[in-house]
Structure 1
């Protein structure tokens, strides 16, 4: 018990205590995620590595990756969706080896994930030692152990592509560690402090090159830099500045409220206008619509704020205890609410409690920086991903709150340090909490073994999530009837779901259920128009009309069959040399011939031969028809199409002359054609 008491004393721990604590924490992180070594490439791993020729270029691709304007991080994505993460892609490229088997390559990258996670744990340990030395070593180790075992981190560690998240976090923590920090203004020479500031900014910029979401922590870095500069000022100036805090604090609050409630051009809330200028989200406003994200369909600022508050409540609940862990939690799947519901008021109440708690902690003894760091790590991701300022696309993933968890745990640790709770109870409750988190990690981790296991696990956990239902139907389910039911269920949950409409239309088309395919292609087109969808719509119309023609022909309604088949030919979206088009033309000519519209049949085939002269089946069919009808003139006309390939065939020319026997004009025509071909040779 004495050892436990000393572990929770706020005093400078011995190097041995710190060393063993760090080693045990790193071992815990490695052991917890060791099973992921046998996992494969999942989801975007393929776009970043296995399908990415630039990444596979290894060292030879470094110049391409870092070239100005280069956006090669993901392969096989639309041009407007391409992004640049050169530092992360450099890591992936340097790890790639063409000589390794797929299994060996997967294991190499997963080893890298565990190593990066261990490095992050190492750096966070020293971040806590620097800024949170007022907390006991025991509390700091508990915070870091709970952070390591938090279930939300499974996606970041078990998914290879999320190395970008780990690299960005490593560089952010390094940037905070590099910042000069002291309790007096004269500890270091100004030049030395300046070098540390430059190093910190450089590391932060490198983090941006790993993943752009590090920008949400820029207010924290700016505030810490401001405090460092402020501390170098004479005490008199510091006191004077503090006495005027409301003179610059109040205008800042007014500006924030203006941004929150002012509506810009076209009644668009100002809170989302600035996203248009942010590189990562630049295309989201223009290419995403209400069909992809319900937040983008909201015209009312009040509606956005209400739903953002409720979203924040859901996010906080996931950070404390993530009951359901799913990757594809569509933004449009967040339960919508309004001010008529109690939900946004719950958000306001929770926000008030959190802000009050943070204010209480700030008023306590100790340095101000620790409170700012923990509060910023916790609140900035919540603000960024509340949808209030940045309209998110169709993914609401666990990794969004990777570092927010650390901030929350630090705030809880600080609150515990202000109480008289005994070390025994702190250790016991933390151990239970840690076991619960670790068990959830062990339960969730196998889902990331493959695409199929991930989507299947998500479907079982969230059977009423439209996005997951559609993904399961398209990627896992093989039975067509079950696929159809899954898509229909997804659309019953979210009728504006573009992806479900499109995939269901393709399923119906493959089953030759063209009317239903047309219906859902049309629904998809209303939500997001594209040339591909328009082509498929035309193709559906063609098949529908052609099927009607075949039915009319089977019922001996030749007039209707001819009219419908002619319409099908006119709307056919393919080329004139397409086998389907050729077959339709031949069938139409045959039906006309059967209907005694023989001249129409001849003209149809003759016109088709002018458009598609290499398809001599038309000529053969015309020759057969004319022969059956004993129309020597038409027979010779179609027979002459074979002349270039039958020039030396005397039997062919004799047969033609026999057909034209007694008709000097036809004989002259045959003679002239033969002469032309000989001259051309």
Structure 2
């Protein structure tokens, strides 16, 4: 609907801006609303990717002194601590601003998440504050009426309450989304201010905000299209003038791109061939190959439709949309066709808006532009989709819905029905946001909850299996412990069925079997991990340990010396410097009458730890059995001096 014609058709309340409630009061009420929605996250712990950018990041944990490293390395480098691994996602990541904030917070409160959650809450409240001010500045430029304020308020409340934002706000790491959106919104606001007032101060604030937004997350770049669109729609500028007015923003853009290139280079990493970093792979004859062009296009279109579904009806929610929660799709699926039709309609509305200049058309254009960079169309993002990717585009959705409610409800049914319907939607959204926040309390709660939604996601199946295995390790109740471990194995078995090359799932499966003392299955699981990656250090180390324990169990409990020897020998071959394995081989050799071998193994243990009284005593006994009596007596005295109890005759 044309904004310029609105006052002629609508019996709006024509009042001057001075007679309306102050903008600042509306905005602060929105700030409080947005912040209170997430107040129940204040006591939450660290979750999900917080490890990467906060408590397991070698730069962040240095506090202020680590900030230089955050600005001079890939964002993931401080976690992986290896060149190359940081570029597991295509093109690498350069987002130093929010990790620098985390470093300052770490300096102040250490490994404590409360301050991070508090800052996220306040920043989100401030973002809602700025969204409201922006809506007023856009909608009320020519004519400041109470009706237009209603539209601005409805749009802002719909945006503030939307449950899809929980991943960005309830997860501390999600601050990159908040800061990118906040910096972009502030930049747009002050570009409009500069256009209206020509005050250099407004332009400077816009440039600084845009630079901060870029340093927070790269999808800020979409606002290079959004801002001229806003000038064209809401300031009656020509397309050429709108573009020219946006040119100053190229300064922070170029500076950021130069910084990014200097750190990451021009290597965009190619296309990963690991399913957890590239969802558009499928198994063919036991080997992962790319989707066909048709499969990839259909799958992308389906996920875009899934976003629309979640914007309209945000349930159920999950943090994980990895393969195969989103399966391989085809154009024969009605959901793909329906999604395509919806986006054709949105494109038509946005294109037609160049003539009508309606808020719904701007909302459609804004949605499509900001969605583009996370759509897997422009470049691969490493997953099918994610709820946090809607943090920026969802404002376009709120604009379309807010304006539609005004046109179809407020105008036709009146103000009371309008606010009643808006209130019901906001209440439902808020309740969903509040309850969804609670799931983000901890990794354990997040993973074990979302695995029931993302039932075919190999990644969350692995995560839930890992969380259960870790928790089971500390569980004192043996019955509960076994139940948790069996549940974990169930999830992990399904994960490797979906993704047979998932080495980490096999690793965790091995751990779960080990805690159950099911050594044969543990050995098999670690072996599968090593088949996938022979250099997988964790699997190698763990398999050596479980072989040792399996050998010990076979010898001491089953009295199966042959099996014990097989396991212990394999363990020793993998790690000849493990002194417990060496000791056990010494004991086994002695029992079998291989006294020279027993001397060899016990001598190695003593060499590693000469002050170990029992080691000295074992060597003394082995030497005596081997007929080396003088040496046996020498080590017996050393054992006695160290406090070893002598064996009784």
Normalised to the residue count of structure 2, the TM-score between the two structures is 0.73
2:125 alignment partner in structure 1: 118
Show the 5 A alignment for 1:488-567.
Answer: 488-492=490-494, 494-496=497-499, 498=502, 499-528=504-533, 530-533=535-538, 535-536=540-541, 539=544, 542=547, 546=551, 550=555, 554=559, 565=566
User: Aligned in 2, Cα 1:429/1:507: closer, same or farther, shift over 3 Å?
Assistant: same
Q: Deviations over 1:565-596 (max 9, x none)?
A: 49826853123462212321442254144xxx
Determine the structure 2 residue equivalent to 1:310.
Answer: 302
Q: Say which SS state the counterpart of residue 493 (structure 2) adopts.
A: helix
SS of 2:180's equivalent in the other structure is: helix
Partner of 2:214: 208
State the 1:221 CA deviation. Answer: 4.9
Equivalent residue, structure 2, for 1:587: 588
- Cα deviations by residue, 1:355-399 (Å, 9 ceiling, x for unpaired): 223233333156xxx678633531244333333344344695422
Aligned residues: 574
The aligned residue for residue 623 of structure 1 is 623
Assess, with a 3 A threshold, how the Cα gap between structure 1 residues 402 and 338 changes in structure 2: closer, same or farther.
same
Change (3 A) 1:8 1:278: farther
Partner residue of 1:146 out of 145, 149, 158: 158
SS at match of 1:363: helix
Structure 2 vs 1, CA of residues 643 and 488 (structure 1 numbering), >3 Å: closer, same or farther? closer
1:92 equivalent to 2:115? Answer no
Contact 1:13 1:137 in 2 (8 A): no
- Paired with 1:234 and 1:170, the residues of 2 have a C-alpha distance of 25
Change (3 A) 1:309 1:36: same
Tell me the residue number matched to 1:295: 280
Contact 2:599 2:623 in 1 (8 A): no
Q: Could you tell me whether the CA contact under 8 Å between 2:458 and 2:498 is conserved in 1?
A: no
CA distance in 1, matches of 2:590, 2:316: 63
Unpaired segments ≥5 residues, structure 1: 239-275, 594-600, 628-633, 649-681
- Give per-residue Cα distances to partners, 1:92-119, cap 9 Å, x unaligned: 3444565x698xx654443322321221
Q: CA RMSD in A?
A: 4.7
Query: Which residue does 1:127 correspond to in 2?
Result: 134
Question: Which segment drifts farther, 54-63 or 112-121?
Answer: 54-63
State the alpha-carbon separation in 1 of the partners of residues 443 and 567 from structure 2: 47
Shift of 1:308: 0.5
Determine the C-alpha separation between the residues in 1 that align with 2:436 and 2:570.
55
Q: Is the CA contact (8 Å cut-off) linking 1:142 and 1:430 kept in structure 2?
A: yes
Aligned residue for 2:400? 411
Q: In the TM superposition, what whole-angstrom CA distance separates every residue of 1:36-57 from its partner, at most 9, and x where no partner exists? A: 3343443444554455565455
CA 546–131 in structure 1, closer or farther in 2 if over 3 Å, else same: same
Can you list the C-alpha shifts for 1:172-224, whole angstroms capped at 9, x where unaligned?
111212325799xxx777xx68x866754443222121233434544435777
**How far apart, in 2, do the equivalents of 1:529 and 1:196 lie?**
58
Distance 1:199 1:58, change over 3 A: same
- 1:220 maps onto 2:259 in alignment: no
Provide the C-alpha distance between the structure 2 equivalents of 1:233 and 1:572, rounded to a whole number of angstroms.
73
CA contact (8 A) 2:325 2:454 kept: no
SS of the residue corresponding to residue 440 of structure 2 reads helix
Cα deviation for residue 307 of structure 1 reads: 0.6
Check 1:413–1:589 CA distance in 2 against 1; reply closer, same or farther (3 A cut).
Answer: same
* Paired position in structure 1 for 2:485: 483
Deviation at 1:62, TM superposition (A): 4.7
- Aligned partners of 1:13, 1:122: CA distance in 2, in Å? 19
Where does 1:17-416 land on structure 2 (aligned, <5 Å)?
17-19=21-23, 20-45=25-50, 48-50=53-55, 54-55=59-60, 58-59=63-64, 61-63=66-68, 65-66=70-71, 68-69=72-73, 71=75, 75=79, 80-81=85-86, 84-96=94-106, 98=108, 106-133=113-140, 136-180=148-192, 200-221=206-227, 231=238, 289-290=274-275, 293-297=278-282, 298-365=290-357, 374-393=363-382, 396-415=385-404
59 and 587 in structure 1: CA distance in 2 versus 1, 3 angstrom threshold = closer
Rate the CA distance shift 1:220–1:617 in 2: closer, same or farther, 3 A.
Answer: farther
The CA distance in 1 between the partners of 2:483 and 2:46, in whole Å, is 29
| Worse-superposed segment, 276-285 or 164-173 | 276-285
Give the C-alpha shift of residue 334 in structure 1: 1.5
Cα distance in 2 between the residues matched to 1:331 and 1:437: 28
Conserved? CA contact 2:489–2:512, under 8 Å: no
Distance 1:592 1:287, change over 3 A: farther
- CA shift, 1:305, in A, is 0.6
Q: Does the 8 Å contact 2:346/2:364 carry over to 1?
A: no
Could you say if the C-alpha distance between residues 621 and 433 of structure 1 is closer, same or farther in structure 2, counting changes exceeding 3 Å? Answer: same
